[in-house]
Amino acid sequence: MAQNNIQKIFVSIFVAELLHRVVLLSGSGLSPWALQKDPLAVKRRVAEQTGCHGDLVEDDIAPCLRSKPLRDLLAVHLDPPRFLPGFAPFADGAVLSSTLSTSMQDTGLVGHERHGPGFMLSEFPDRDLLFGLTTTESYLDLSAQDLEFGFNETRRDRILRTYVRNSYYFHLNEIFSTLKNEYTDWEKPVQNPLNVRDSTLEVLSDGHTVSPLIKLGYLHAANGGRTYFMHFRHQSGERDFPQALNFSQGPKTSVNSDYNPADGQ
């Protein structure tokens, strides 16, 4: 979430001239968890749990919240849908343009489109961008038991259906079927629980972090910006996830300087 906030600040008209370079690691403003699309629902829950009532649309509850002790603010619980944010930036029309939410609903890459969905978040070509990824970006999406022992295809389907339902608007069945087909290793006739776990982690990583971040790099480069890409593959010897996870292989860091998705360099 921190990377998303940094990017939102970077494209805000209030601070755009104060920053000269940006580094985005494991996240961007195009991720489905990056922007709160229903801020009034969050405001309602906060008001109910803190006693700061008023008109949901017209009244500013910030002065009331400032009068509350810290423990009351930390006790607010939102329980957002899985894979979606609770507290997160939203398009308020001031710091962030009100058209931002609409422009992010379609995350497809279309040729050298310079005014397509998500383009607003890449509109800083005069400043350098370094974006980076780790090999597994979805480790926190699964429980410790799932990571340790894996799970069967039925549970995988439930996880993917939840992800698709909460992250997309249209063609949900087609998206689910495509993900299931493309991320199944058909060379293995029997899918053991660890293989199913690995493929599910790949789907979630690519869907909510990798693909949106690469798209942002593409748009930044297409707009004439200097764009750099980094893939961090180091696997710590003191990690707290199971040894069976085979995504991170060896203490390697690969960096592709002057990466320009627009011209294939």
Whether residue 167 is found in the same domain as residue 129: yes
Task: Tell me: pLDDT of 262 over 90.
Answer: no
- The pLDDT mean for the chain works out to 78
Whether residue 220 is found in the same domain as residue 171: yes
Burial class (CB in 10 A: 0-12, 13-18, 19+), 226: middle
Read off the pLDDT of residues 6-65 as tens digits, 9 standing for 90 and up. Answer: 455 455 545 666 778 888 888 888 888 888 888 899 999 999 999 998 888 888 999 999
Q: Is 218 inside a domain boundary?
A: yes
Whether residue 71 is found in the same domain as residue 111: no
- CB of 63 within 8 A of CB of 76? no
Q: How far apart are CA 69 and CA 86, in angstroms?
A: 21
Tell me the pTM: 0.73
Residue 61 tokens, joined: 């509850």
pLDDT given at position 18 = 72
Read off the pLDDT of residues 207-248 as tens digits, 9 standing for 90 and up. Answer: 999 999 998 888 888 888 899 999 987 666 555 555 555 544
Number of domains in the chain: 2
Q: Is 260 inside a domain boundary?
A: no
Residue type, 162: T
Q: Which DSSP letter does residue 244 get?
A: T
Name 20's Cβ contacts closer than 8 Å, sequence gap at least 6: 127, 128
Domain that holds residue 64: 38-83
pLDDT-based confidence at residue 122 (cuts at 50, 70, 90): low
